[in-house]
Structures are given as structure tokens and as C-alpha cells.
Amino acid sequence: MMTRAVLKKAHLFLAFLLPVVFCYLFITFISPAPAVDAGKGSIPSYGNGPHEVLIFSDYFCPPCQNLEPQLEPVLEELYNTGRAKITFVDTPMHRETPLFAKFYLYAAKAAPDYRAAVRARQVLFALAGKENVFWMDERIEEAFRKEKVAFTPFDFRTAQPDLNRLISQHRVDATPTCVILSPDAKAQKYTGAGDILKGLATIRTGLK
């Protein structure tokens, strides 16, 4: 599990220690150059189940990278069986994350489909796993085109209020984190791969 304490000890990216700073950097880190109007600004969700599953992750977080292949089939099942509405919330624990989060939103706008969103995440996680790369728009655009991931640029800042609200509301200070909102039940927060998979299992087995 990647925590702010780990980042602080390593003297890396101290600006990301507080959710308020997350919000600021997420809005200002990337120079805006919108090509298409966003329309609706809320972040995308997939499915219509009674449970809402919020996945907070960072493409550059090693535990998130390790969890993702295990997480995908579980979320796929919840989506296919209509048990959950799934929302991916990119949480900036790394200085490059806002750039990658922007391209996830671009992909989600181009193809508002759950499997397309998962494919975009797969490509972004794979890119983030590369070492010693200076990331910029052109590199990610090239990768998306190579992997046939559609994307539509827009003023991604229109989605920031919802993203920032979710991070702050659920007090997310570590990745990966999962929040499960169920009818007539208190929100449950799980942090770390093991706890997240256990929490999601309660929905799969119908215990929630």
C-alpha cells in the first residue's frame, strides 16, 4: 500500500500530502489546451447496480499496479451481474498522475463503455510501469493510437470538482483504496489489495 508517509520519508512529491493540494495540482498541473467542449462534467460511472463501488488508484503506485489484474475480473463480474455501479477515481499520489488521469477521461469521453474504460486503464498502467520516461501528451497519444484506444480531448477540468469531492469526502490518503456504498448501510472503506478484494467479495456473495 502506498501512503503519504512513505512518500514523505522518500522526500518525493511533498506537495501531494494533503487532499487540498491534490485538488490544486489536479487542476493546475497540466496546461489546459481543450480541443472539444466537455459537455457534462461529471466523472464517468459504469453499471446500474444497487451498490456503488469507488476505486481510488494511482497508475504509478506499485500496489495499484499489482492489484489491477486481480481487480479486473471481480469488477467485470459485478458489472455483468448488475450488482454494482463502478467509478474509477484517479488519485494523484505521483507528479505524473494528473496527466494520465486526463487521458483516462479523454478515453472515457470517446467511448462511454465499461470495457473501453478498462482497456484505457490497462494501457495507462502499462505505460506507468516503464522506468525513466519523461511523460507528455504526445507519448500517451502515440500509445493510445498504437493500442487502438479512442480518445476525445476536452477541457478535463470540468470533471475536477467531482473527483476532488470524492477524494476529500472519503478522506482518501492512500492508494489503492475502495469505498463501497450500499443501500441502507454505512459507507465501507477498504485500503490495500487484500482488504479491497475481501470487501468486494461481500458484494459478490450477496452479504451486503
pLDDT for position 4 = 52
Model confidence at 78, pLDDT cuts 50, 70, 90, reads very high
- N-term to C-term CA, the chain: 25
Model confidence at 3, pLDDT cuts 50, 70, 90, reads low
Helices (H), 29-113: 62-80, 97-110
The grid cell for 199 is: 470487501
Query: Measuring CA to CA, which residue among 50, 40, 61 is closest to residue 191?
Result: 61
22 pLDDT exceeds 80? no
126 pLDDT exceeds 60? yes
Mean of pLDDT values over 177-205: 94
Helices 97-110 and 114-128, axial angle in degrees (round to 10): 150
Distance in angstroms (rounded) separating the CA atoms of residues 158 and 164: 11
Share above pLDDT 90 across residues of the chain, in percent, rounded to a whole number: 73
pLDDT for position 95 = 94
Ramachandran angles phi, psi of 41, nearest 5°: -95, -10
166 pLDDT exceeds 70? yes
State how many domains the chain has: 1
pLDDT for position 185 = 87
Model confidence at 42, pLDDT cuts 50, 70, 90, reads confident
Its domain, for residue 127, covers 2-204
3-state secondary structure of 173: coil
pLDDT for position 23 = 40
7 pLDDT exceeds 90? no
The top-scoring range by mean pLDDT among 14-18, 22-26, 180-184 is 180-184
Model confidence at 21, pLDDT cuts 50, 70, 90, reads very low
18 pLDDT exceeds 50? no
Length of the chain: 208
pLDDT for position 108 = 96
Domain with 125 in it: what CATH number?
3.40.30.10
Mean of pLDDT values over 94-121: 96
Mean of pLDDT values over 42-55: 94
